[in-house]
Every structure is written in structure tokens, then in C-alpha cells.
Structure 1
Amino acid sequence: MKIGIDKLHFASSHLYVDMAELATARNEAPDKYLIGIGQSKMAVIPPSQDAVTLAANAAAPMLTAADIKAIDLLIVATESGVDNSKAAAIYVAKLLGLDRRLRTIEMKEACYAATAGVKLAQDHVHVHPEKKALVIGTDIARYGLHTPGEPTQGGGAMAMLISADPQVLALADDSVLLSQDVMDFWRPLYHTTALVDGKYSSNIYIDYFQDVFKTYLEEQQTTIEAFKALTFHLPYTKMGLKALRSVLPMATTTQQQALSTHFEHARQLNREVGNLYTGSLYLSLLSLLLTDPELMTDDLIGLFSYGSGAEGEFYTGRLQANYQQGLDLGLPQRLARRRRVSVTEYEMLFNGQLALNADDQTIACDDDPHRFVLTGQRHEQRQYQDREN
């Protein structure tokens, strides 16, 4: 029985800042961001969106009435949670109108947690093949204005429906895992932005990839030639390119070029959005599937998931014959319709997020076109609105 990703859908902001303009405002050469980091645009998340609304906006458009009836497991993976106790999944389930007979949990391990959710969902569907699981990676990457990490911010949510007989990607049971206590990235409870040792974190990322990838090849008694494409967690797209280049000498000259070409497709949409934390790997997968014309049924796709702190996993999936039917086909057009904001407006929106205090607050959301929005806080409870109800 095949189990895997049946549908993928993405949501982010309707706003972005141009990375060349941001570089100029920060007295940096534009190519430092455009080439050195590998980012062209960065999603600017308005105060009317948070991890909950992004998750609901990502999932709702792809779910049919039959999907909603079959879903009995909802996993929301995030490091941008809105409550230290109550799972974001509870809020998302209500907004989506999911059945009450539902297991709802929130998962956290930096950028890795969505992969843990996918693998748990895979096991769940294996035991209950008539059911479906919804996994959503949703985050807002914040490092602060005028910080070294600022150009690697962004935000959005990737929703994935896991089922038997999947339309998109049949997942294998061949994961290689690695977990160690590493202080490359963390956010203490008293911080609203992350702390990161950037160079150290980059080195750990590549070390983890080489470890799990080479171990996979040994355990499966295969070679890099078995893969049509390798996809990566992309906190910024140059990071994935560095990881890919670290193993390209294992391939023939012809396949080195092919893998590099496929990677360019796999980072195309991430270049336009920025860092998604938990959703980054899966936006890269969606980017590959939407933009690469050379993919074929049964192609083997490798997926490298990484979360600082640190945890990594490499696993694989086989492309299915009707994979296009499960994709968010309108995403490139939606990204093209976004509104460009100035650096000044971006800074204002960054500083205008819901304050972390007990006060009643109201958030203006008239300019936000999304179905689900955050309208404020009342009696220390976040107020969400579904504009279709």
C-alpha cells in the first residue's frame, strides 16, 4: 500500500520587500543578498496574520468535503506558536471546520518539526488507511531589524494532506535520522526573535546533510545516481546550494549538471518568499514539482530536513503519475500579484505585530485579502475571523 503526500498548498503574505532595495537601505551591496544569500524577495507578514491564520489559509483551498470528513489527525508544526499551552492546531481545526473527533497537536523542533509530522502521519495512515492526516508547517521567521539574520526572514505555511494512494509523492520507509544537542540557533522564552550563530549553524547544516545522506546510500546500498532530484530545507537558498555542492563530486559530470538544474527549479519559489522555518523544505518540493518540466512518473526525490538545535532527516519519495493534480497550481501567479512595500513600510509592519501583553488590542485588516485574519486580542484571547462565515 502506498502512503504519502496527496495534496500540497501554500499560503504567505500579499506583501513583499525587494531584497536589492533592502540591501541598499542596510548599506550592503545588493549582490550580497541576491547572490550571496540567494534571495530576491522577502515576504512581509502583516500584523493581521500569524501562525494560525497562515496555516488555515494554506489548508482551506485544497480541502474537499470528502477530505474534511476523512481527516482524523491534524499536526501543526511551528516555532511561532501563539500560546505556551494550547496547540495552534486547536485554533486551526476550528477555522477549517474539521470534525470534533480529531487528534490535534502542535510540534516543535526548530525547522524540522513538519517532517516529524509527516512521518507520524505516514504511520497513522498505514494503520488507518481509510483516514487522512493534515500536516501544516507554519512560521514567521523574525531575527530583528538591522541584524545579521534580517535578510533571511520571511514567512508562510505549507499544508500537506497525507493519505493512502497519494496523488503526488509516495513516501518510502527509509529515513536516516540524526539528533544532537547543538547551540547553533535558539530562542529563550524571554525573546521574541531568534538567536543564531550563523556561520556555525551553516557548518552544522552541511555536516548533518552529509552524515544522513551518506548513511542513506550505505544502508540502501545505492548511489547518488538513483536520484532525479535532491530537495533541501532552505532557510536561504544559497544554503541548500552549498549542501548540494558538497556531494556533487559523488556524481558523474552529466548528473552533476542535472542535479544542479533540478535544484534551481526547487529553489525558485523560495527565492521569492524567504525563510519559512518548518515549511521551507516543502515549499522547495512544491517549487520543484511546479516548475521543473523534466520530471517523470516514478522519479526518486530525496528530501533533507533540518532543524537547528539540532535534528536532521533524509528520506525519499516516488513521484506519482497524476502528481500535478495535487499541487497548488495557482501559486506562481499569486506570488506575482503581491504588492511591493518600501523598506520603511516593511519596518512599520514588522514593529506592528500584536503586543505580547494582556491589553485588549485591535488590528486593522481591511487591506488583508486573505480569508482568515487575526483581528486583535480581547480578554487575553486572540480574535480570529473567517470572512466567509
Structure 2
Amino acid sequence: MKIGIDRMAFATTNEYIDLRELAKVRGVDPNKYTIGIGQDQQAVVPPTQDIVTLGAAAARKLMTKQVGDHLSTIIVATESGVDNSKASAINIKELLGLNDYVRAVELKEACYAGTAGIQFARGLVALHPQETVLVIATDIARYGLQTAGEVTQGAGAVAMLISATPHILAIEPTSVNLTKDVMDFWRPLYATEAMVDGKYSTNVYVDFFKQVFTRYQMMTGRQFNDFAGLIFHLPFTKMGKKALEGALGDRHDQVATRLRTALTASQLYCRQVGNVYTGSLYLALLSFLQNRQVNAGDRLGLFSYGSGAEGEFYTGIVQPHFLDHTNDVQAMLQKRHQVSITEYEDMFNHQLGMDEQDVEFDLSNDHAPFVLAGQKNHQRIYKRQ
């Protein structure tokens, strides 16, 4: 039985900043951001958007009556949860108007949780092949203004349908996991911004990739030449380059060139959106599929990483007519509105965050399909528009 990703869609905010402008305001050489980190633009989050509204907006693009009739479960993967108890999947289920017999849960393990959601979904579909599972990887990356991590912020959501009739990627059975207790990145319950040891985290990421890929090779006998592309979790695009170059070494043959070209294609959307945590690997997958010549039957390798730390390498086979089952991400990104650095800072400072006060937001400037209207009696208020 084939089980895998049937359809995919991406959503982000309607606002962004140019990181060259941020570099000027911060007194930094723009090349440090665009070359050293590998980022060009960054999604900006207005107070009226959060992981629930973004996740619902991405999932809405996949919803049809047929999907709704066969949907059994919603799995939301996030490290930007809005409640320590209630799953954001329930809020999304309500915004989408789905029936009450849909299971809804939330997963957490830093940026890895989206992959965990896919693997759990595969198990559910294997038990009930007639059912479909919706996996949503939705996050807002916050490190704080004028911090070292500011340039690696971002926001967005990738929604994926997992079924026994996948039209995008049929996931192969062999995968390799690696779990270690590592303090490279974390966010205590009392904090709205993450804490990170950037250089250490990058080193752990590269080491995890080498370990899981080497073990995968030992288990399967497959080598680099068996892949049309290797897709990486990209909190910033230079990170994927470090992992690939660390594995390829000084190879410059045809296979190495193919993998480097594939990496460049996978980086394009991440360069324009920034870090979307649990969704970063799958935004990279969308970018690769939509910006590279890909053929049905091609094998792709996917490296998922979540600080703390969890890594996994797994593979999938590209299906015929896969592009017909994705949304046009580049067209969506081109419709966004660039804001000034002052406007970005104002929006950053007016997020609902962990404030317990009642708040009512002005919704007149937000034309997204779903909005966060505010908070009353310690409850977030969501609305369809």
C-alpha cells in the first residue's frame, strides 16, 4: 500500500520586511544576512495573526467536500502553542467548519514535530486506508528585536493531507531516527522568545544529519546517486548548505552538482519567508518541487531536525502530476506587502503573547480568511472573514 503526502499548501502573513533594510537599521553589513545566513526577506506577524489563523489558512486551501467526508484526524505540529492544555487543532477544526467526529491533537518536539505528525498519520491511514489525516505544521519564530537570532525569525504554516492514494510523495518504509538530550535551543514556559546557542545548534544539526544518513546507507545500501535531491529542514538556508557540504566534502562530480542544485531550488521560498520551525522542511519540499525539474519516480531524501534534539532521515518517491496538488507559493509571496522596520517593530511589540489582559484588536487592516480578534476572559477569540 502506498501511503504519503497527497496534497500540500502553504500560508504566511501578508506582510514582510527586506532584510537589507533591517541590516541598514541595525548597522550590519547586508551580506551578513543575505550571504552569511542566506536570507533575503522575513514574514512579519500582525497582532491579528497567530499559529491558529495561519494553520487554518493553509488547511483551507486543501478542503473540499470529499476531503471533509474522509478526514478522520487533524494533527497540528507547533512549538508556538497558544495554550498549555487545549490543542490548537481544535481551534483550527472549528474555523474550518469540520464535523465533530474529527480527532484533533497537537504535537511538540521543536522543529521535528511536523515529521512526527506525518509518521503518526501514516500509521492511522495504514489502519484505516479509506481515511485521510490532515497534518499542519504551523509556527511563529520569535527571538526578539536587536538579538542575534532576529534575522532567523519568520512565520507560516504548511498543511498536508496524508492518504493511501498520495499524489505528491509516496513515503518509503525505511527511516532513521536519532534522539539526544541537547540544550541547543529551548523556550521556557515563561518566555515568549526562544533561547538558542546558534553555533552549537548548527554543529549539532550537521552532526545529526551525518549520523542518520550514514545509518540509512548502512541499512539500505543506497548512496548519494540514488537521490534526485536531499531536502533539509531550513531554519535559515545556510544551515542546509552546511549539512550538505559536510556530507559531500570535496566531491564535485555530476551527482554532487545535482544535489547542490537541488538544494538551491529548495531554499528559494525559505529565503523569502524565514524560519517557520516545524514547517521549514516542508516549505523546502514545496520550493524544490516548484522550482526544479522533477520527474515522477524520482527519489527524495528528507532530513528533519528539532532542537533538544531529534533528527530523522526518510525518503519518498515523487508521484505523477504532483504539481497539480500544490498551491502556487511564489504567486502568493509576490502579493505580500513590504513594511518598514518601524512598522515591523511595532507589530512585534503588540503581539498578544502571554498577556492576561482583555484585548480587542482592530481587524480593519487584516483581510486574511481567519483572524485573531483578541482575548476576553483569558480566551482567545478567532473569527472567519
- Which category describes the TM-score, using the shorter chain as reference length? over 0.9
Cα deviation, residue 115, structure 1: 0.3
* Runs of 4+ that moved beyond 4 A: none
Asked if 1:62 corresponds to 2:36, the answer is: no
Is the counterpart of residue 323 in structure 1 residue 333 in structure 2? Answer: no
- The equivalent of 1:291 in structure 2 is 291
1:174-189 counterparts in 2 under 5 A? Answer: 174-189=174-189
What's 1:52 paired with? 52
The Cα of 1:224 is off from its aligned counterpart by 1.0
What letter corresponds to residue 31 of structure 2 in structure 1?
D
What are structure 2's unaligned runs of at least 5 residues?
A: none
Q: Which residue of the other structure, out of 372, 375, 381, is the alignment partner of 1:374?
A: 372
Report deviation, 1:358. Answer: 2.7
Match of 1:261 in 2: 261
| Corresponding residue for residue 338 of structure 1 | 336
Counting only pairs closer than 5 Å after superposition, residues 241-320 of structure 1 correspond to structure 2 as 241-249=241-249, 253-292=253-292, 294-320=293-319
- Greater mean deviation of Cα atoms: 358-367 or 175-184: 358-367
Aligned residue identity for 1:370:
A
Mapping 1:139-154, distance limit 5 Å: 139-154=139-154
Q: Name which of structure 1's ranges 246-255 and 145-154 shifts more when overlaid on structure 2.
A: 246-255
2:354 to 353, 356, 359: 356
- SS of 2:192's partner is coil
CA distance in 1, matches of 2:327, 2:120: 23
The CA deviation at 1:250 is 8.3
Q: Which amino acid aligns with 1:24?
A: K
Q: Do 2:192 and 2:354's aligned partners in 1 also have CA atoms closer than 8 Å?
A: no
Q: Which residue of 2 aligns with 1:224?
A: 224
Aligned equivalents of 1:270, 1:63: Cα separation in 2: 25
Instruction: Provide the residue aligned with 2:363 in structure 1.
Output: 365
Please tell me the residue identity of whatever aligns with 1:320: Q
Deviates more, 1:28-37 or 1:356-365: 356-365
2:312 match: secondary structure: strand
1:75/1:7 CA distance change after superposition, 3 Å: same
Write the distance in 2 (CA, Å) between the matches of 1:357 and 1:43: 23
Secondary structure in structure 1 of the residue aligned to 2:268? coil
Q: Partner residue of 1:109? A: 109
**How big is the shift at 1:357?**
2.9
Percent identical residues: 51
Corresponding residue for residue 213 of structure 2: 213
Q: Alpha-carbon deviation of 1:363? A: 1.1
Matched-pair contact (CA < 8 Å) for 1:18–1:340: yes
Please say if residues 3 and 164 of structure 2, whose CA atoms lie closer than 8 Å, have aligned partners that are also in contact: yes
Aligned twin of 1:84: 84
* TM-score, normalization by structure 2: 0.98
**Cα distance between partner residues in 2 of 1:233 and 1:222:** 21
Shift in Å at residue 162 of structure 1?
A: 0.4
Pick closer, same or farther for the CA change 1:136–1:355 going to 2, 3 Å.
closer
1:127 equivalent in structure 2: 127
Residue 252 of structure 1: how far off its partner (Å)? 6.0
